[in-house]
């Protein structure tokens, strides 16, 4: 207590540091107590003279963010000019704000989009905000496994590293439809397309380590189940027939897949320097994801004044992608930039492994030479 202490109210810590002042010497009295002798002024004291020159220990704590934080606030002062960021679904909504935030801080941003015309307008809009922004668009339709593979090959041909991969694209409240791969579209776009994308780019991610994968999920994952009576992930639930289809339930299941996929991906790739986390961006935000159902659009319009902005919605994605305190950490779920626990099933390792095996089988059956992670 004579050499370091903590203030009882402020919590500030101070300590004695360095050598004793000139002319002072530390000795021990007959009782074994330490005392200090000032030979110049011929005096003795039991108090360390260095207390007059204490050093304050400044503990730099990570800044705390919350639901009101904007993505640009998290990146304030950050130079990302050495980073390559790939974002799916960066044309609008949260994806656009995420892409813009990274690009305005120097990152090389690649938008993986199915609509190149709209993507080109997005690139122009970002570059109008900063003419030096490095952002480009590439064709990638998650509803087509062939398109995903072609995109991966085109990306690899650029010989770029990949430091941050953000699986953001999603659809919600869509009418029932099958993709060209004969799978229900919500399941394939939200989960299986991203699964194959990461599978195809995993070697690039490893070479770029430390790298991060960020999967945008939703709190709606809590209101569903994926298991059959045997405790296995059931394809009939993930890719239902028309008569068994309900759009919101399909979305909920796909979002549960996102978290299970994130956890299993982190388990497999974290030993190689690639971590993965999932997140919920915010409640009832007005994005184009609900454009297929007029009732949902109406409800979101009514709720718009009371919900997050798109910049705030992108904050948790950006936080998971760049937060220094998350370096090397993965397999977690975040909401409002805070770690929280997902549903019980989303934490189940056997469900994550079962979904991974099913996803591997689905892409293998629809392709030749796809290498499993």
Provide the 10 A C-beta neighbour count for residue 82: 10
Query: Across-strand partners of 277?
Result: 214
**Cα–Cα distance measured from residue 277 to residue 212, given in angstroms and rounded to the nearest whole number:** 8
Query: Across-strand partners of 165?
Result: 86, 213
Structure tokens given for 136: 């480009």
**Cα–Cα distance measured from residue 27 to residue 35, given in angstroms and rounded to the nearest whole number:** 5
Query: Across-strand partners of 278?
Result: 215, 333
Q: Which of 251, 286, 319, 333 is catalytic?
A: 251
DSSP state of 324: G
**Cα–Cα distance measured from residue 244 to residue 250, given in angstroms and rounded to the nearest whole number:** 10
251 is catalytic: yes
Which has the closest alpha carbon to 114: 133, 95, 91, 94? 91
**Cα–Cα distance measured from residue 330 to residue 333, given in angstroms and rounded to the nearest whole number:** 9
**Cα–Cα distance measured from residue 266 to residue 20, given in angstroms and rounded to the nearest whole number:** 51
Residue linked to tokens 């120097």: 106
- Name every residue whose Cβ is closer than 8 Å to that of residue 117 and which is 6 or more positions away in sequence: none
Structure tokens given for 119: 């993507």
**Cα–Cα distance measured from residue 323 to residue 74, given in angstroms and rounded to the nearest whole number:** 8
Q: In this structure, what are the phi and psi dihedrals at residue 45, rounded to the nearest 5 degrees?
A: -150, 155
DSSP alpha helix (H) spans, 112-246: 116-129, 145-157, 185-187, 193-207, 235-238
Q: Could you give the residue numbers annotated as active site?
A: 251
């Amino acid at each position: 207590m004579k050499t370091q202490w903590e203030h009882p109210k402020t919590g500030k810590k101070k300590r004695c540091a360095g050598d004793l002042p000139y002319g002072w010497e530390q000795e021990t009295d007959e009782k074994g107590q330490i005392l200090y002798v000032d030979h110049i002024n011929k005096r003795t004291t039991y108090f360390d003279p260095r207390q007059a020159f204490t050093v304050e220990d400044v503990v730099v704590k990570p800044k705390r963010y919350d639901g009101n934080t904007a993505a640009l606030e998290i990146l304030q002062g950050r130079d990302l000019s050495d980073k390559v960021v790939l974002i799916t679904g960066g044309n609008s909504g949260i994806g656009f704000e995420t892409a813009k935030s990274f690009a305005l801080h120097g990152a090389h941003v690649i938008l993986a989009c199915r609509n190149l015309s709209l993507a080109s307008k997005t690139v122009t809009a970002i570059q109008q905000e900063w003419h030096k922004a490095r952002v480009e668009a590439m064709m990638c339709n998650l509803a087509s496994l062939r398109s995903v593979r072609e995109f991966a090959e085109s990306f690899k041909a650029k010989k770029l590293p990949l430091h941050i991969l953000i699986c953001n694209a999603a659809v919600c409240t869509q009418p029932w439809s099958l993709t060209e791969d004969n799978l229900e579209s919500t399941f394939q776009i939200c989960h299986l397309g991203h699964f194959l994308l990461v599978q195809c780019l995993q070697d690039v991610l490893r070479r770029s380590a430390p790298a991060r994968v960020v999967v945008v999920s939703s709190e709606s994952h809590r209101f569903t189940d994926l298991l059959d009576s045997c405790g296995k992930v059931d394809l009939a639930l993930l890719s239902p027939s028309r008569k068994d289809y309900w759009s919101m339930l399909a979305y909920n299941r796909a979002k549960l897949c996102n978290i299970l996929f994130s956890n299993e991906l982190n388990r497999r790739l974290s030993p190689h320097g690639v971590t993965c986390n999932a997140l919920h961006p915010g409640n009832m935000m007005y994005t184009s994801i609900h454009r297929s159902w007029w009732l949902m659009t109406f409800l979101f319009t009514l709720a718009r004044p009371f919900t997050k902005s798109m910049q705030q919605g992108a904050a948790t994605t950006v936080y998971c992608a760049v937060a220094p305190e998350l370096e090397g950490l993965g397999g977690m779920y975040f909401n409002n930039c805070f770690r929280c626990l997902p549903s019980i099933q989303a934490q189940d390792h056997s469900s994550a492994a079962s979904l991974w095996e099913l996803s591997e089988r689905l892409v293998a059956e629809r392709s030749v030479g796809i290498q499993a992670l």
